[in-house]
Amino acid sequence: VVPEKVVQAVLQACRSGNFDLANKEVNNFIAEGYPASQMLTQLFEAIVEDNDISDEQKARISKKLGEADKCLVDGADEYLQLLDVVSNTMQAFSNMPEGFAYEC
């Protein structure tokens, strides 16, 4: 089980809108050796129970959590999947359109 403070640190980093901070939290999580699938489960529980998150945001984040879980089952890299979840969660929290990408 991932400690609640670790899950909350990841969520706080997502809420901050600071990708570097979120990346740091993902790196810390990976360095501690916790299973990514457990983090996804606990993130899902934390998001569903949070009344400050809109239903649309919960749906977007939950969809991405499900996709990442499937990718992990298929053998994908834990770091990349968590980073994808974190970046999409940040976009949901800042109400960016789904699939939003900056153009260079």
pLDDT for 59-80, tens place per residue? 999 999 999 999 999 999 999 9
How many whole angstroms separate alpha carbon 34 and alpha carbon 70?
18
Structural domain total, the chain: 1
Q: Is residue 101 part of a domain?
A: no
Give me the domain span that covers residue 71. Answer: 4-93
How many whole angstroms separate alpha carbon 85 and alpha carbon 13?
12
- List of the chain residues with pLDDT < 50: none
Do residues 39 and 7 lie in contact, with contact meaning Cβ atoms separated by under 8 Å?
yes
**Longest C-alpha distance within the chain, in Å?**
40
Q: Is residue 77 part of a domain?
A: yes
Report field, pTM of the whole predicted structure over 0.95: no
pLDDT at 97: 78
Q: Is residue 82 part of a domain?
A: yes
Q: For position 21, which CATH number holds?
A: 1.20.272.10
